[in-house]
A and B are shown apart, each in its own frame.
Chain A
């Protein structure tokens, strides 16, 4: 554990951290000396105390829980459906030929226009939010998976026919392990997209979650709390992504090593 931390410390980009601290200090200075004055611009310490207030008063937790729950549900649906359809589209030329154009039509439709439509159809509730997040996150998962399957080298296909693997066995033993890296990339993209779309749909009319809280603080003229929520959204995206990468690292060390190799 000790070596882990010292390794991590060596990997930290101290210069970059210094720049962030410097920017915050400058911001604090400029606002508190009124060199720069906007009604709605709190200084970092104001945002920090708003953040502390949100945490201590318990205002934050129900909102955070709602957003997280919706985003994760949406993500699970997207990964399952997108992974499956992506595998089918990658494996079978017939499936790809009969679906690709439809997939492209839906993909080029800007996702946010679906938000008012979903609220209209399912009403402003959790169901609309989860389905919206899942819909948006589906496409990156589907497309990267299909591309991953198509990228399997022909020699590996030959191996599977030489070994006389059945269709199921060849998918299980060759296709899925080889496509794992691409699926992981797709799943990471999907997670970011699901979170953003859930937050945006909360901003646009669903009565719960961090996005809703953010808009409410805007209309209640509480800029410091609003900034705090913006920070929370940003941090949440980074934290979820890091959690997913760590989880995959622990659960499937082979896959993540493969991804790292293909990235470098």
Chain B
């Protein structure tokens, strides 16, 4: 009971940190002209939000964006882990491929979007592929590094127990690598979200980013700010969720365990 109260007090105390944001928004509310063409006050964002919701494109748009984000991130995690394990299992392979991968990693996903559109056309697969390309690097590199640092003793043990390849992977390799993979997912997920919105911008997906560009280009600033705020809320929730998942996973499979 007491713990619950102190946790609540702690949460309340950390809300102090939101004061600067609140001050900025209040200042904005009372010092900007109503119907300003570029910086409408926050109260107008809410009206615009209600209006967009009324047209029915809002939740479908959000669904499209979130679906692409999750699909891309999951594909990046699966592919990144699999390739990372394969890549990190041989020192030679690590050495042979690292310059190529370093260069690919340095090429921002955004610059790859036009290339991908021209090559593969604007399809669902291309969209997912771009999100994967943008977010796979931390997962791939971290998994490979963790795999190459895996104590050989553990593999030997699996060998003497005559585990099949699959159960060796599932029971020995994966649990050992999980902390490293989790940390890299924490890095990759925000990147995947950014790339997803970028794909929304550059390919007419109908997602939130696409809607935002439409409102921006028709100078509907209140609607643009409303969507900005919505994406902000999505970003924060995403962050909280990831922290929660990371804590759970690292609790169950602690690093160095």
Contact = CB atoms under 8 A, between A and B. Distances in A.
A39 B19 CA distance: 55
Nearest to B236: A108
Interface string A131-160: 000000000000000000000000000000
A110 B200 CA distance: 13
B160 interface: no
Contacts of B39: 121
A200 to B, nearest CB: 4
B117 to A, nearest CB: 7
B14 A101 contact: yes
A227 B228 contact: no
Contact of A108 (B95, B198, B227, B238): B238
Interface residues of B, number: 55
B236 A113 contact: no
Q: Is the interface of A mostly helix, strand, loop or mixed?
A: helix
Nearest to B105: A234
A120 B224 contact: yes
Contact of B111 (A40, A120, A233): A233
Most buried by A among B21, B118, B235: B118
Contacts, number: 162
Contacts of A184: none
Interface stretch (A17-25, A52-60, A245-253): A17-25
Given A104-B239, A120-B216, A13 B18 contact: no
Q: What is the interface of chain B mostly: helix, strand, loop, or mixed? A: helix
A72 B107 CA distance: 18
B16 A98 contact: yes
Given A19-B97, A100-B17, A226 B232 contact: no
Contacts of A92: none
B152 interface: no
Contacts of A122: 38
Contacts of A234: 103-104, 106-108, 111
Contacts of A41: 119
Contacts of B21: 101-102, 105
A255 to B, nearest CB: 24
A226 B190 CA distance: 27
Nearest to B240: A108
A120 B219 contact: yes
Nearest to B113: A203
A17 B104 CA distance: 14
A163 interface: no
A110 B193 contact: yes
B132 interface: no
B125 interface: no
Contact of A101 (B18, B38, B213, B227): B18
Contact of A116 (B95, B106, B117, B213): B213
Interface string B13-25: 1111111110000
B197 interface: yes
B108 A13 contact: no
Interface residues of A, number: 55
Interface in A1-34: 13, 15-20, 23
Interface string A207-240: 0000100110010000100110111011101100
Given A97-B13, A108-B238, A113-B212, A38 B202 contact: no
Nearest to A16: B99
22 contacts: A13-B99, A15-B95, A16-B95, A16-B96, A16-B97, A38-B119, A41-B119, A97-B13, A101-B17, A101-B18, A102-B20, A102-B21, A108-B236, A110-B190, A121-B39, A122-B38, A196-B110, A203-B110, A226-B114, A227-B115, A234-B111, A238-B106
Interface of B: 13-21, 38-39, 92, 95-100, 103-104, 106-108, 110-115, 117-119, 190, 193-194, 197-198, 201-202, 209, 212-213, 216, 219, 221, 224-225, 227-228, 231-232, 235-236, 238-239
List the 8 shortest-distance A-B pairs measured between CB atoms, nearest first.
A101-B17, A16-B99, A234-B107, A40-B118, A116-B216, A218-B114, A108-B235, A108-B239
Interface of A: 13, 15-20, 23, 38-41, 97-105, 108-117, 119-122, 196, 199-200, 203-204, 211, 214-215, 218, 223, 226-227, 229-231, 233-235, 237-238
Given A19-B97, A109-B235, 10 more contacts: A16-B100, A101-B18, A104-B239, A108-B238, A109-B228, A113-B231, A199-B110, A211-B110, A214-B111, A234-B107
